[in-house]
Amino acid sequence: MRFRLATWNINSVRLRLDLVERFVKTFKPDVLCLQEIKCVDESFPELALRALGFEHLAVAGQKGYHGVATLSRIPFSGIERRDICGRGHARHLSVTLAHPGRNKKPLLLHNLYVPAGGDVPDPALNEKFRHKLDFLDAMAGWFGHMRAKASNRMILVGDLNVAPLETDVWSHKQLLKVVSHTPVEVEALARVQASHDWVDVMRRHVPKEEKLFTWWSYRNRDWRVSNRGRRLDHIWTTPALEGAAVSMTVADATRDWPRPSDHVPVIADFEIGDP
């Protein structure tokens, strides 16, 4: 089973439908996970995306904010939306990809949008930061609980809104007190990662000494020159799929397309064996 998987925080799917079309025609993903679609299910541009070849769609929308969607050329079953922190936000969607192989072991794909967390990195002063930490803890608890079960073939993608490594930000020192790179968030994300022994696919392909970003603020005029980026978007797999991601690309060319998202897509090619 071979397929190309992409994840992209699109920052309004309706406004940037043309960018999605251009991305799909250029990079030809088989499965595309979107975050921040910013629309309710009813106004999701399903027909236009079906026309691009994605016959299988799962949408978890919400009015105005957040929202995730998973589009696929590969059939899937078992769509699940999970309200991870109990606030009614649409921040998670998982689908079970059908495996054409003989053993048909399920492959569970999680699409996540972790709360950004506001500006003040203090849970006592900033409820949004509190929510972010709670959300990450809930993720760790949930995946830790799942660990006992048979779900050993999972992929997790999305905007996790945390840049864990020093080289995941343009300046480790200058961002230590900036939400997305504070030690308390990095530790919380590390607990999520440890909860199911998740493998950081992007860093299996790019050494941790090298800078690697997926997001550049709209406030930086010349984003490529100043290069004040962060790696907020991630692709993880369970250890059973370690090595299945044979290549990885950050499609940063999209950041120069007209009216871009502030995030760029991350792409991984998977080759998954039968058992």
Residue 128 lies near DNA (rule: CB under 7 A) = yes
Q: Which residues ranging from 207 to 246 are in contact with DNA (CB under 7 A)?
A: 217-219
In whole angstroms, give the CA distance from residue 192 to residue 114.
12
Instruction: Give the residue, chosen from 11, 70, 193, 195, that forms a contact with DNA under the rule CB under 7 A.
Output: 11
On whether the CB atoms of residues 32 and 58 are closer than 8 A, the answer is no
Residue 14 lies near DNA (rule: CB under 7 A) = yes
Site mask for DNA (CB under 7 A), range 154-193, x = bound: -------x--------------------------------
The DSSP string of 174-185 is: TTTTSTTS-HHH
On whether the CB atoms of residues 59 and 44 are closer than 8 A, the answer is yes
- Three-class secondary structure of residue 241 per DSSP: helix
Beta-bridge partners for 16? none
Nearer to DNA (CB atom), residue 244 or residue 260: 260
Tokens 């053993």 locate to 103
Minimum Å gap between C-beta 120 and DNA is: 12
In whole angstroms, give the CA distance from residue 233 to residue 163.
8
CB under 7 A: which stretch of 23-31, 59-67, 92-100, 103-111 binds DNA? 59-67
On whether the CB atoms of residues 112 and 233 are closer than 8 A, the answer is no
Residue 126 lies near DNA (rule: CB under 7 A) = no
Minimum Å gap between C-beta 6 and DNA is: 19
Residues near DNA (CB under 7 A): 11-12, 14-15, 38-39, 63-66, 115-118, 128, 161, 217-219, 259
